[in-house]
Each structure stands twice: as C-alpha cells, then as structure tokens.
Structure 1
Amino acid sequence: MRVRLLVLSLTAIALSVSSCNFDAKTTKEDRLPPSQFKSDGISMENETKIDALIAQMTLEEKVGMLHGNSMFATAGVERLGIPTLNMTDGPLGIREEISKDNWAPAGWDNDFATYYPAAGSVAATWNPELAYKFGNSVGQEARARDKDVLLSPAVNIIRTPLGGRTYEYFTEDPFLNKKLAVPFIIGIQDNDVMACVKHYAVNNQETNRDYVDVNTDERTLREIYLPAFKASIKEANAYSVMGAYNKFRGDFLCENDYMQNKILRDEWGFKGIIISDWAAVHSTVKSLMNGLDIEMGTRKPFNEYFLADKLLAATKAGEISEKEIDKHVRRILRVLFQVKAIESADRIKGSLATEEHYKDAYDIAAESIVLLKNEHKLLPLKLDGINSIAVIGNNATKKNALGGFGAGVKTKREVTPLDGLKNRLPENIEINYAEGYLERYTKNDNDQKSEITLNTPTTVTALDPEKFQEALEVAKNADMAIIFAGSNRDYETEASDRKDLSLPFGQEELIEKVLAVNPKTIVVMIGGAPFDLNTIKAESSSLLWSWFNGSEGGNALADVILGNINPSGKLPWTMPKKIEDSPAHATHSFPGDGSVTYEEGILVGYRWFDTKNIEPLYPFGYGLSYTHFEFSKIGTNKESYSEDEEIKIHFTISNTGSQDGHEVAQVYVSHPGSSVEKAEKELKGFNKVFVSKGASQDASISIPVKELAFYQEATDKWIVEKGTYLLKIGNSSRNILQEVPIKIH
C-alpha cells in the first residue's frame, strides 16, 4: 500500500463477524489540515512509447478502446500488450462481478468486499483524513479485484432534500464538498487505480435525468456546482471523469463542448479520460469532437454503440479523421501507463475485505453519527437499573449493502443495529425485539417492488396491527426502548427522487405511540437524506441520526449509544421544517419538465435559509456531543490582508464536560458591503479538534484570501473585492459564537 503524506497504521484484529470489537475509545489523533493532501499529475514521460503503440494499431483496434465490450470494460490490444480497461462501481465499496452483457451477478465466490459507509456519512464526519482513509482502503480493494477505474466519488451538490442519490453525495456546500473530494481521490489513486469523478456536471436530480436540460447562470455554475470538480482536477489530479446523463444549456453533457473541452480540458488542464455514464451518449462525431473518450452503456449490443461500428463507418466516410481517434486513444494509453497497467512489475496488488478495511469502515461510521437531541440525557445509555431493553423497528435488522437501483456491495459482514447492541450489551440485559412496521410498497401491475422503486416508491403507510401491538407490548414491559426508524436503500435509490419528506411505512405513528407507553425511548433515524422529523423532534427527548453506515455500522452505532464513542458528526446538509422552505422548491424550480432553471442561483442549502432568514428544523453543520465545548481567545494573525495572503484564525476550545470528544470549529464569511448579491454567510474553513475532558486545545484555521472571491460574469474572472469582511466562528451555520472583522486591501 502506497500512502502519500498520511501514514495509516492499523492492526488487524482476528475476530468473528458477529463479535468484531474494535477499540471504541475516543483518542487524540494527529490531524493534517486539508491543504496537506497533494497528488502528482498525469505523467507525460511515456509519450514516445504511446506514439509507437498507436502507430502499430489498426483502426478497428483503436475504436475498440473507445467503447464498452462488456458491462464494465473496454477492449485492449493483446498483441501489443495493451490490457483491457476494467472498471467497477464504488460508492459503497467494490461492486460484485456481473455478467459480461447484462446486470445479472456473475456468480463468483471470491468477489465479496468491504461495505463502506455512504458518502453522506463521510461528509458528516467533517474529517478529510477519513475521506482519504476511505479512498485508500477502497482503492486497495479495487486493485485486489484487478480494476483500473473506480467509478467514484460522486461530488454533485445536494440541491433538493428529495434527491434519490443524496446518500451517495457528500453535501450541499461546495467548500466542504471539495475538501472531502480531494483526499478521497488521492487515497484511491495512491493505489494505482483511476478515480472517476462523477457526474460531470449539474446532475442534481434523478427525475427526468436522461434528458432534462439544466440552465444556470455562469456565476452559479462556477461558485456552486463546479468547485469540487475543479479541485478534483487541479488539486487531486483525478485521472478520469464521468460525463452525466442530463443536458446543460441545450447539449447533452457527454457531447458538451463548453463543459468538456473549454472548461475541463482547456481551462483546468485535464489530461485524463472522460467516460460516459451508462447509455448517456447520443451521437458519434459530436461526442468525440466535444471531448468524450469512452462510451459505456447497457441497452443494446456493444457493436451498436455510437463509438463502435458507427464510429468506424463515420471514419471511413470521412466524417471524422483517424487523427482525432488517435487523440482519444492516446489519452487512454496515458492513464493506463499512469496506473502501471502497462509495462510495470511493481503495480500495487491490493487486498480485499480485511480486518484493516473493516476497521476503516468502523472509523468512518463512528465519527459520522449525529446527536440531534438529548434533552433528558438518556444518552449515553446508563445501564444501572436496566434489566431489559425493547429494540423496535425494521431498521434494527435491515441490511443496506444491497438494495435499490444502483451499485451495492456483496459483503460477508454487515453488522445491523440489533447485532451491534447484542455485541456490546452485557449478557444479563434482556433484549426484546419487535419489528414494529413492515417495509411495504403498493402493488404495481407485475407485483414487483423493483418496478416501484424505479418511479419513486409508493409505500403502504398503514401499520400492520399485529406488528404494531407487539411493539407496544414490548416497549411497555421494558425498562427502556430504542426505536430504529428512517429509510433504507430500497426507498432512497438511484433513478428516482422521493415524492415528499414523509417517513415511510407508518413509522411516525409507531414512534408516537411507543413514546406514549415508554417515555424512556431513544429514537435512532437511519437514512441518507432529510425527512420530516417535526413531530418526532417535539415528542422525543433523545434523537440520533445514523447513515447507511457500512459493514461495521451496527457496532459503531452501539458504541455511540453506550458512550464508548462520543458522537462528533455534523449534518452536511440542511434539514428543513417543510419542503417548501428549501430553495429549489420555494422557487418552484424542481423538477421541471424538459428543462429546469436553477432559480435560486447561488443560494443553495443553508445559504438560502440563512439569507432569507428561514428557520430550519436542523441547520447545516449541526451536531451535539455528550460533553460541552467552549470557544475562547478567538482572533486573527492580522487585521488587514492582501489578495495573495492567508487569513489565520486562532482559537481555543475547552472541554468543560466529563467525556473526551471532538468538536468541529466552522468559519463562515460574510461580506455585507459587496457590490454583488452574496449569501448571508458561506463556509470557508473548518477544523475537527480533539479535546480531552477538562482540558483546552489551541487550534487554528487558515483561509487563503482568494477563497473569498466571487465569479464576475462580465470579465469571466474570480474577483476578491476590497473592503471589510466578517469571519463568523461557530459550530453550525446557525450557532455563531463570535464575529471577527478583517479588511482586504
């Protein structure tokens, strides 16, 4: 394993699947600031070798490299030592092997992998080092399965809480997005695997995703939807990018000259390859001329792809030159050399589903869980006087490694919340489980749930009387209860957006009734996107938010409930009180029909809520702790800065409670005197700091002055205006503890 700038030393622990017990103690870690993650660019030293290979290739061999010849591979040229380019899905870990020409599992017995927490979970850690750890770990697994390209990360902005892939994306904020994407990509590519950053770009809804034409003004495009992609290229040096399904300003993204050539290649200097999303190509000559390199897909024989027989015919007819084809083949060969797939004996071999990797998954899950409410201090769970615990809810036993439409993981280990409690609780405590609600969908013509999930799942909201009564009896007769509710990956799924924020399956009624019969009830929500928790927030005293949290998710959740881990997760998106408060819905610009215009402009997520003074249910960056932190001695190294300098904010965090823990210091910037519209505040820096109980820790956050720039459409330039700015330091977008003015001259 090659590690750049970050040494991860983890000890394998040989334990059984059911009782895996990683060290749950919260300890101090030496954290590197996000700016320390660096990556080498794509090498140009093999150009002579590439010229020689291209000169020996037939036109048919060249074209074979530009389109899929199986579901996840393109053709190589065996006689010249050019290997097949092998790809795999990777948002939750390495996907199981599937058949050559359809989505059916290949039936291998050696393609089990680690199920990692979803990207929303990674974002909730607010920890770039864990993003690197995830990338490095899953990169090792990709190499162990002989993959060249990992189709990850997905860095699209969360524009609507209803998005079917919200769980798969990081955040609603472009700054947090890029600070997590960069180390994630570097971690992958440190293992001789190409990261494929997706879905480029403005791909923010599943509804009509195949054809919807997205329109934004240029400033919104540059400030909100492109920063993570730009950082992926210019800072992380990503080797590949995936073109999205949708259109942008009239042209499909996979044939969009402005996005692929002018911005990605000419402006940002991208030297890697652009791979289409599956069946996202609509032309032959236009796609190649406008920047696409590889067409992948699913819906027809491989030779019928636009970049297969049609490309051969177009070349022979003189519609496109062989020189143009050579340009794309060159790019592919360049990245194959980069990941040592050609002429290299020292390519990383990787490892698969090891105890080290399960530990990586645990570490991410443990830092991602968000404490939303703890009014009566039921958490952490105190076991004195507790003889029996009622565990209620389908989500206590639901597994999410597989499910829904899209990529999952075939894994030998997925610890459920119920498993985690059984692993962690003393044997003398009786656990009584009741399912409580059934995961039920309305029937369609074929009585197939999979058909429903492709078109927004419609759920049966009535509770099953027998299951409901069983849950009430179990809760009534227990010393305390824990309800595991929320969502799952059949309900939150690629290819469909949710209809509303409602909790499915009648869960709200179940939770209300259980709280009525046993007030000592902890509510744990599991999901990837916001839900309507207004009633639950009002009626419950202890509320936790967890995620689709990987192979070790149940153990990590149990450790948080029991206080072995002090929760340190922070929400990476805003949870609205009602859907009409969210910007895309308040402006009636979701989902559109044939086209959609992002009417909210730069005011996405918390920017909208804070600027319009709309109170959310839970704000961006929010998350409580079992201990209490105080900020003091907040200041800056200077009062006035030039454009080429860095602002250094220094502060002290004191832990005045009784448990060690992490706090996330967040710096938002306001510019009241700006000549253009700006959000009330924008995240521009953060630092996750460990503080022992009773101790204080000095910390700092550095912000390059250039981060304060806005995109000026008239000049197509980034502009840092002179004047007074306010640095707002706090631990959520709505909990600002102190403001510090600075001047930019």
Structure 2
Amino acid sequence: MRNKLLALSVGFSLIAFTGCQDGSATDTTNTEEAKEKDIFEGKPLSMEYEDEIDSLISLMTLEEKSGMLHGTSMFATSGVPRLGIPELTMADGPLGVREEISRDSWAPAGWENDHATFLPAGGGLSATWNPELAYTFGNVIGAETRDRNKHVLLAPAFNIIRTPLGGRTYEYFSEDPFLNKQIAVPYIVGIQENDVAASIKHYAVNNQETNRGTVDVLLDERTLREIYLPAFEAAVEQGHAYSVMGAYNRLRGDYLNENEYMLQEVLRDEWGFKGFVVSDWAAIHSTVKALKAGADVEMGTNAPFEEYYFAQPLIEAVKSGELSEDEVNESVRRVLRVMYNIKAIDSTGRAEGSRNTEQHLKDVYNIASESVVLLRNEKDLLPINAQEINSIAVLGNNATRTYAQGGFGAGVKTKTEVTPLEALQNKLPESVTINYAKGYEENYVPAEDGNQNYGRQTIDELDEAMVQEAVEAAKKSDIAVVFAGSNRDYESEAADRRDLQLPFGQEEFIDRIKAANPNTVVVMIAGAPFDLRKVEKDASTLVWSWFNGSEGGNALVDVLLGKINPSGKLPWTMPMALEDSPAHATNSFPGGESVTYEEGILVGYRWFDTKNIDPMYPFGYGLSYTDFDFSNARVNKTEAFTDDETIQVSVDVTNIGELDGKEVVQLYVSKTDSNVERAAQELKGFEKAMIAAGETETVTIEVPVKELAYYNIENKKWTVEPGIYTLKLGNSSRNILQEVKIEIE
C-alpha cells in the first residue's frame, strides 16, 4: 500500500462553489506545493513536558484535579485558571464539527457562527478505498475543529460492521479490519496535525445499538484480536491517537470503562498508549473500579455535574482511602500531557484552523465523487448524455432530502448542502426539461416511548395521487432517475434497524416507475445495505451513494452525467437476505443481557466466501464506465520469506475501455492447509490507480509478512504459519483475476 500523499487537485473545475460562509477566507488544506507526506505515521505524544506537568499537579487541590476528570458542562471539563490550565473542550464530529450545545443541556446554544462543513459519512469515505482522501478528510475536520477552538474531536468512529442492521453502519467504515485501519490511521494523522486530539471510538466491540448500554459481549480472544482490535491498535501505534473513547457495552462481564484488561493490559501495556481515556456519554458506572481500571475522564453521566462518579464521589473515595491521590494524579497527568502536546496550555505556534472555506468544499466534493458505487449499468443508460435528451424525470423523496441533521446523535449545522435536484437544475442545459415529482412520503409510526430501541417503524402505504404524478412525469420523459433509499432519521444512533426492507413503500414505487419508463436509473442514497432483489429485477441501472456531505448532490450528479467516472467500491457485503449474514445465520444478534459472537472470525465477506454463500453484491464491488484487464501478476520472490520481510506484489492493469478511470486493485490472501481455522481469503492490501484509456499501469502492493499472521491463543502471540500462501488479485472479493503463490519459511 502506498503511504505517501500528494496534494490533490484533480476535479476541482467540475463544480461551482458557493464560497466561504463564516470561517477564515484563506485555507492551506491541500493547496501547498505538491509534497510527499507519510500519512500512516502520526506524531507520538511528546514526553518533554513531564516535569512541568508534575509541577502543576503538585500545586493543584484534590477538588481541582477532580474537576479536570469529569464533565462540568456538556462538552468540557474544568480547567484551573489560577495555574493557566484552560477547560478541556470537546466536539462531536464524525460528519463535521457539531453545532455548539448549551453548557448544561442538550439544547442548541443558538450561536450564529457555529456552522461547519458537512463531510461524507463513514460509509462514503470508506467506499473511496483511498487513504489519501482519508487524510484529507481528517485534515479538513481537524482544521474546522481547531477553528472552533475545541481541543478534542470525538472521531473517527470505526467499529466493525457486524450486522447490516446496525444503526451506526452509515457512520462506521467497514466490515473488514484491514480496510478499517487503512482509512482510520490517515484520518487521525490529518486531524492531529491541526493541534487537535482525535478520540478514537468506540473502544471496543460496540457493534450494535440494541441494548448498547448494558449488553455483555462474549467472544473468543482470537476473534477479538483479529477482527475487532486491529484498527484500534493501528490507530494507537501508527496514528498515535491522543485519546480513546471507552464504549457503552460490557466485554466479558465488565463495562469497557471499567475493564482493566482492555484499558490497562491491552491499550497501555501492550500498545503503549500515553493519552487519556474518555468515556462515552453516561458510560461510567462506578468511581473506584473505573479509575483503577484506566478510565480518565467521565462525560455525560445523567446527574448534576458535581454528582458525577469522578466528581464529589471521587474526592470522597480519596479521603476514605479507597483511591490514592497518586492514582488520581496519573489520570490528570494524562490529560495535561495531551493538552501540552496540542498547545492548549502554551499556545505558541499552535495551528490556527479554518472553517467553511472553498477549499474544504472542494475536498468534500473529491471524497464524495470517489465514493459513488456503480452497481449495474446493463443498458448503458449511464452516463447520461445531456445533449441527447430533451427531458428527464427526477423522482423520489431523496432527490431533495438533506442529511447533515437527523436521527439521534451528532449532526452538522451547515450552510451548504446541495441536493441531487439542485445539482441537476444547475448542471443540465436549459434545453432539458426537468419533470420533478416526490412520489412518496417519509412517514413513521409514532414511538410510544420516544426512543424506539429496535428501529423506527415506517408507514409503507403509498399515496396514489403522489405515485400517479410521478408515473406521469416518467412517461413523458426521455429518462427517469429515482432517488430512493434511506436517511439519517431512519438510520440512527441508539436504534438498530428492524430489517433490510426499503421503507416508505419504495419497492412498489420503483416498480411503478420502471413500468412507466424502461429507461429508469435507480439511485440509492443510504448508509447501510438493503434487500434490493425486487428493486434490481428489471432495473438495468443501479447506483449507490451515501450521506455524502455538503457537495454530495454535485458529486453524485457529476457521476450520473459522466463528468466523473465512478470508482467507489462497497466497504461491506450486501446480502441477498438478512439470514445470509453471519450474525443472523448464527442467531447471535442482538442477544439479550449478553450476545455471543458465534461466527467468530468469519465476519462479513469472510463468512460468505468461506461458506460459499452468494451475496447480492460482494465486498469490494463497484463498476466503472470503462473496463480494466489484469495481467502478469508477479512477486519480488516466490520463496524463503521470513517474518520481517515485505512481499511486493505487482500486476499490470490495462484500461481496455474508452474513458480514463480509476480502479482499486485488491489483494486477498489464502492458506488452505492451515493448522488453524482461517477464512477462505482475507484482504491484506489494495491500491487505487488512475489509468488512462488504452494505457497499462503496473500496480505494486506491499504486504509485510507479519500481516499474514494469526493470533495464537496458546502463546498469546501473533504467529506467521510457514507454508504456501496464495495471493489473489482482483477488483472485488468475488472477482479474482490473477493469482500467485509464495512460500513462507
């Protein structure tokens, strides 16, 4: 995998921007001269301030120390003004820096200057399969966090997607640990270059919203190490994340914020983490046990601030001898260490930040444009040639829907969010008539308790008058585009979805439109899989897009019109049916008081490929408006590799079509004669390459031999098994085009 970043500039001329809103008018994100940068190695926490930190701690009262370890407003802890220590301020942010919240409630503060750029949700970012864009994403959101004068950004979120029903699937990255870490590490590096601490979340095995605050997750150690921890380990050891957020759930009996094994033995002793652990909001359940286990900062507990477990109860625990003041000092030291490193105490040379700039919109556009996935294009309806049509029907609620806000959890207060209809109106020539009809309503069954823990129930009965209006629009148009799918009210933190069915009667609606106009393009905008079997029937053209940020509509429409050649790849498997997915095939979701991960290491495509189950669309899948051919796969040598070496795998990729395009070369590894259970294949490398029409490029992927290791539960070490390995090269997990074999000594 390449690990250098060149400043990105491609594609900026394809879009008209609205300009800056309320942030700095200048921005250097990706605008400096092209230079190489290691995006997979962050800056470690410096220990040069330890003497100053010890001096400060010696001057602090116990009450002041406690104030630094718990929320004294909704998103800040206390500082010590007399010693020059400011509040530690935090911001939610996977989609962009959250609007300002009142100090003592969840109500918006009502500021006029807290707008931010809306960035693509995690599904869109990971669908780019482009670590360079992950770095760009982190740099943009880090600069905006810094401009808002926040010290900690509560992002990125990258728990493994275990079930397609997960309420936060739209926000997370992938079902695969390797892809997760290749996106997470550059993201963190980009954030922290802006003197903002990234708080990686949710540590760990926080893979469902159902009973998330209480469920006890049970899984074997090998599964934990091989599937659920690699991205966190890389985020700490390579990205050098300054903060870790402890998750809501339990693991093997203990809450994650009281789990000494996870917080001390793994995170600090094994991985060398030197930063601080902050709880998810209201995820602390004790004083003594949590602090001793390694939690440092308590946030969001549902009590007056002075009653938080790390507030007055902590002071009393020290006075009674249950905790030593030295133990409290250690947590304070970790917080101060981060504050010094991000220049929150001595601000000399601290980054200035920037927000709502034209450059940030360009960066968002670039990310969104590489995320769109072309699923089917059998009649070559795409790209749409605007010079050859007189009319187009634009149909569906998602043609005008916005996604910056919605559901339970963090959104973005943004001034710019271009919808697909707006983009089409701006980009199509005046000679093309746009016939718009909404077609269906987004309606829900009222929740009895205001918080439907297991997904929002929708009203799926169509309004015949609305459908008929859309049918008539389709009939009188040369081509129809249905913008369907989901939204951030339906896919939401705090509630897993009920099933894979499209809500709001959309299956029937799409059928009616296809019958009215055979030249129908179906565009899904969503963050998680749906059952598309009925939608795909008789639908020759199918596109998948995401909750894709301020420029999401522009990027999507530029793909439809052919200004951008699609290059997105699915970061998860889309199943034919829910029961095909491993957590559901094993009847191990959502559990009750506990949930056992019965599928073990066979998560996502590992299950489908090993069990020979056909998916609707496989992991890594995505088409282009051109075609690519792979040939001449080779390695730097075929045998005698040792643990400390790197395998160099090369393949020639030829663009055999008529358009320039980007292809993602994916490298999967198999070992059939293993002494331990293994998946049929595992992703161990990928490279995204731009290849001009008619040209051939050699793509080389480097795979450290240690990436081939499994976790040996007997000696508690990563072990590279000797023998023959097959390296498979393709453009999805189910389309392997070249293979080579190597031998490990």
- TM-score bin, normalised by smaller chain: over 0.9
- Return the alpha-carbon distance in structure 2 between the equivalents of residues 31 and 351 of structure 1: 21
Matched, 1:17 2:23: no
**CA distance 1:431–1:657, shift in 2 (3 Å):** same
Matched, 1:204 2:207: yes
- Return the alpha-carbon distance in structure 2 between the equivalents of residues 179 and 620 of structure 1: 16
- Return the alpha-carbon distance in structure 1 between the equivalents of residues 550 and 77 of structure 2: 31
**CA distance 1:152–1:36, shift in 2 (3 Å):** closer
Question: What is the match of residue 530 of structure 1?
Answer: 529
Q: How does 1:330-729 map to 2 (within 5 A)?
A: 330-445=333-448, 451=450, 455-640=454-639, 641-729=641-729
Q: Which moved more, 1:272-281 or 1:463-472?
A: 463-472
**CA distance 1:247–1:61, shift in 2 (3 Å):** same
Measured against aligned partners, the alpha-carbon deviations of 1:53-86 in whole angstroms (never above 9, x if no partner) come to 0011011000000000000000000010011100
SS of structure 1 residue aligned to 2:110: coil
- Return the alpha-carbon distance in structure 1 between the equivalents of residues 452 and 287 of structure 2: 32
Task: Quote the offset at 1:218 in angstroms.
Answer: 0.3
Measured against aligned partners, the alpha-carbon deviations of 1:512-556 in whole angstroms (never above 9, x if no partner) come to 110001000100000000000011122200100000000000000
- Return the alpha-carbon distance in structure 2 between the equivalents of residues 514 and 268 of structure 1: 55
- Return the alpha-carbon distance in structure 2 between the equivalents of residues 251 and 713 of structure 1: 21
- Whether the aligned pair in 1 keeps the contact of 2:284 and 2:301 (CA below 8 Å) is no
- Return the alpha-carbon distance in structure 2 between the equivalents of residues 374 and 32 of structure 1: 37
Matched, 1:225 2:225: no
Q: Which moved more, 1:380-389 or 1:316-325?
A: 380-389
- Whether the aligned pair in 1 keeps the contact of 2:39 and 2:185 (CA below 8 Å) is no
- Whether the aligned pair in 1 keeps the contact of 2:203 and 2:244 (CA below 8 Å) is yes
- Whether the aligned pair in 1 keeps the contact of 2:633 and 2:651 (CA below 8 Å) is yes
Task: Quote the offset at 1:217 in angstroms.
Answer: 0.3
Q: Which moved more, 1:552-561 or 1:628-637?
A: 628-637
RMSD: 1.8
- Return the alpha-carbon distance in structure 1 between the equivalents of residues 91 and 5 of structure 2: 26
- Whether the aligned pair in 2 keeps the contact of 1:76 and 1:84 (CA below 8 Å) is yes
Question: What is the match of residue 78 of structure 1?
Answer: 81
- Return the alpha-carbon distance in structure 1 between the equivalents of residues 454 and 357 of structure 2: 37
Task: Quote the offset at 1:300 in angstroms.
Answer: 1.6
Measured against aligned partners, the alpha-carbon deviations of 1:461-491 in whole angstroms (never above 9, x if no partner) come to 1111111111111111111100000000000
Task: Quote the offset at 1:427 in angstroms.
Answer: 1.4
- Whether the aligned pair in 2 keeps the contact of 1:112 and 1:409 (CA below 8 Å) is yes
**CA distance 1:10–1:634, shift in 2 (3 Å):** closer
- Return the alpha-carbon distance in structure 2 between the equivalents of residues 197 and 170 of structure 1: 13
Pick from 133, 136, 140: which aligns with 2:139? 136
Equivalent residue letter for 1:628: D
Question: What is the match of residue 24 of structure 2?
Answer: none
Q: How does 1:17-416 map to 2 (within 5 A)?
A: 17=18, 37-416=40-419
SS of structure 2 residue aligned to 1:88: strand
Task: Quote the offset at 1:407 in angstroms.
Answer: 0.3
- Whether the aligned pair in 2 keeps the contact of 1:131 and 1:180 (CA below 8 Å) is yes
SS of structure 2 residue aligned to 1:275: strand
- Return the alpha-carbon distance in structure 2 between the equivalents of residues 15 and 487 of structure 1: 27
**CA distance 1:336–1:18, shift in 2 (3 Å):** closer
Task: Quote the offset at 1:8 in angstroms.
Answer: 3.1
- Whether the aligned pair in 1 keeps the contact of 2:45 and 2:242 (CA below 8 Å) is yes
- Return the alpha-carbon distance in structure 2 between the equivalents of residues 173 and 385 of structure 1: 42
**CA distance 1:453–1:114, shift in 2 (3 Å):** farther
SS of structure 2 residue aligned to 1:238: coil
- Return the alpha-carbon distance in structure 2 between the equivalents of residues 79 and 619 of structure 1: 59
Task: Quote the offset at 1:17 in angstroms.
Answer: 3.4
- Whether the aligned pair in 2 keeps the contact of 1:378 and 1:520 (CA below 8 Å) is yes
SS of structure 2 residue aligned to 1:491: coil
Task: Quote the offset at 1:386 in angstroms.
Answer: 1.1
- Return the alpha-carbon distance in structure 2 between the equivalents of residues 92 and 381 of structure 1: 30
Equivalent residue letter for 2:219: T
Task: Quote the offset at 1:5 in angstroms.
Answer: 6.2
Measured against aligned partners, the alpha-carbon deviations of 1:174-227 in whole angstroms (never above 9, x if no partner) come to 000011110000000000000000000000000000000001100000000000
Task: Quote the offset at 1:635 in angstroms.
Answer: 0.7
- Whether the aligned pair in 1 keeps the contact of 2:454 and 2:495 (CA below 8 Å) is yes
Task: Quote the offset at 1:155 in angstroms.
Answer: 1.2
Equivalent residue letter for 2:121: A
SS of structure 1 residue aligned to 2:170: helix
SS of structure 1 residue aligned to 2:322: coil
- Whether the aligned pair in 2 keeps the contact of 1:10 and 1:356 (CA below 8 Å) is no
Task: Quote the offset at 1:644 in angstroms.
Answer: 1.2
- Whether the aligned pair in 2 keeps the contact of 1:390 and 1:432 (CA below 8 Å) is yes
Provide TM-score, normalisation by structure 2: 0.96
- Return the alpha-carbon distance in structure 1 between the equivalents of residues 631 and 9 of structure 2: 35
- Return the alpha-carbon distance in structure 2 between the equivalents of residues 315 and 602 of structure 1: 43
- Whether the aligned pair in 2 keeps the contact of 1:420 and 1:558 (CA below 8 Å) is yes
SS of structure 2 residue aligned to 1:168: coil
Task: Quote the offset at 1:453 in angstroms.
Answer: 5.3
Equivalent residue letter for 2:306: N
Task: Quote the offset at 1:7 in angstroms.
Answer: 5.4
Equivalent residue letter for 2:197: M
**CA distance 1:5–1:609, shift in 2 (3 Å):** closer
Task: Quote the offset at 1:452 in angstroms.
Answer: 5.5
Equivalent residue letter for 1:722: P
Q: What percentage of residue pairs aligned between the two structures are identical?
A: 62
Measured against aligned partners, the alpha-carbon deviations of 1:132-151 in whole angstroms (never above 9, x if no partner) come to 00000100000000010000
SS of structure 1 residue aligned to 2:537: helix
- Whether the aligned pair in 1 keeps the contact of 2:631 and 2:738 (CA below 8 Å) is no
- Return the alpha-carbon distance in structure 2 between the equivalents of residues 46 and 466 of structure 1: 69
Measured against aligned partners, the alpha-carbon deviations of 1:79-121 in whole angstroms (never above 9, x if no partner) come to 1001110000011000000101111110000000000000110
- Whether the aligned pair in 2 keeps the contact of 1:404 and 1:453 (CA below 8 Å) is no
Task: Quote the offset at 1:36 in angstroms.
Answer: 5.3
- Return the alpha-carbon distance in structure 2 between the equivalents of residues 559 and 65 of structure 1: 49
- Whether the aligned pair in 1 keeps the contact of 2:39 and 2:132 (CA below 8 Å) is no
- Return the alpha-carbon distance in structure 2 between the equivalents of residues 36 and 562 of structure 1: 33
Provide TM-score, normalisation by structure 1: 0.96
**CA distance 1:452–1:294, shift in 2 (3 Å):** closer
Equivalent residue letter for 1:170: F
Question: What is the match of residue 25 of structure 1?
Answer: none
- Whether the aligned pair in 1 keeps the contact of 2:685 and 2:701 (CA below 8 Å) is yes
Task: Quote the offset at 1:19 in angstroms.
Answer: 13
Task: Quote the offset at 1:353 in angstroms.
Answer: 0.7
Gaps of 5+ in 2: 22-32
- Return the alpha-carbon distance in structure 2 between the equivalents of residues 687 and 15 of structure 1: 30
- Whether the aligned pair in 2 keeps the contact of 1:18 and 1:423 (CA below 8 Å) is no
- Return the alpha-carbon distance in structure 2 between the equivalents of residues 518 and 560 of structure 1: 21
Gaps of 5+ in 1: 21-28
Task: Quote the offset at 1:422 in angstroms.
Answer: 1.1
- Whether the aligned pair in 1 keeps the contact of 2:385 and 2:561 (CA below 8 Å) is yes
- Whether the aligned pair in 1 keeps the contact of 2:7 and 2:34 (CA below 8 Å) is no
Measured against aligned partners, the alpha-carbon deviations of 1:280-337 in whole angstroms (never above 9, x if no partner) come to 0000000000000000015221111100011111111111011110111000000000
- Whether the aligned pair in 2 keeps the contact of 1:200 and 1:242 (CA below 8 Å) is yes
- Return the alpha-carbon distance in structure 1 between the equivalents of residues 356 and 452 of structure 2: 30
